[in-house]
Amino acid sequence: MSTKGASLKGLLLMVLLVSHMLLTKEGVTSLPICPNGSVNCQLSLEELFDRAVKLSHYIHFLSSEMFNEFDERYAQGRGFIAKAVNSCHTASLTTPEDKEQAQQIHHEDLLNLILGVLRSWNDPLIHLASEVQRIKEAPETILWKAVEIEEQNKRLLEGMEKIVGRVHSGEVENDIYTPWDGLPSLQLADEDSRLFAFYNLLHCLRRDSHKIDNYLKVLKCRLIHDNNC
């Protein structure tokens, strides 16, 4: 009897622990799709934006940390300086560069731009996750973050498409997109060149994720809170 009770307690404890772990994962809480429980429910725009902002913040946080770790680990001795960041493949997309421009741009255009940037990063992130594993003695944290960023980017893209579907009055434009051709540079034989390519890619990633995070916050404050966050 005592063993039975003990095993039940253990099982309960396990369940509690696991559920706690799952529920408190930072930044990526699995929110219920339909909080009210009804079948044909829809998330409010506010909730959609909340989730999008959380995701974008999380992605930027991971990118920032990943860049710092890579910098510490590989770039210090080599004297990398981020090249003129024109080398970022998304530089061709004209995005708002200051607050005024961000405030003046129409929210639909801004949303499309965000979507365009996210789509443009889909491909590089996949290759980043796979190529970073080939770096000699890559720390586990960098590897994990690369994979995580790629996953979360996909989720954010889905979320943004939903938002765009709600917000857009007209048709959704899908043509904002820049292809990425940096894969060969990630596979260079020379280790220094290869690491420099990674360094730049991670620098670009950090920058772009910050952009997206900012734009989304601006949009959220503008559309949801009426410029009164």
CB of 208 to another protein, least distance (A): 8
Please, which residue, 195 or 216, has the CB nearer to another protein? Answer: 216
* Contact by Cβ (8 Å): 194, 187: yes
d(CA 160, CA 155) in angstroms, rounded, equals 9
* Contact by Cβ (8 Å): 110, 118: no
CB of 57 to another protein, least distance (A): 7
CB of 154 to another protein, least distance (A): 21
In degrees and rounded to multiples of 5, residue 215 shows phi and psi of: -60, -40
Crossing angle (nearest 10°) for helices 140-167 and 45-70: 150
d(CA 35, CA 215) in angstroms, rounded, equals 27
CB of 86 to another protein, least distance (A): 6
* Contact by Cβ (8 Å): 102, 92: no
Please, which residue, 51 or 207, has the CB nearer to another protein? Answer: 207
Residue 68 CB neighbours (<10 A) = 12
CB of 213 to another protein, least distance (A): 7
Please, which residue, 150 or 213, has the CB nearer to another protein? Answer: 213
Please, which residue, 178 or 214, has the CB nearer to another protein? Answer: 214
Please, which residue, 78 or 134, has the CB nearer to another protein? Answer: 78
CB of 216 to another protein, least distance (A): 9
Please, which residue, 127 or 222, has the CB nearer to another protein? Answer: 222
Residues interacting with another protein, by CB under 8 A? 57, 60-61, 64, 81-82, 84-86, 95, 97-100, 102-103, 207, 210-211, 213-214, 217-222, 227-229
d(CA 212, CA 55) in angstroms, rounded, equals 10
* Contact by Cβ (8 Å): 93, 212: no
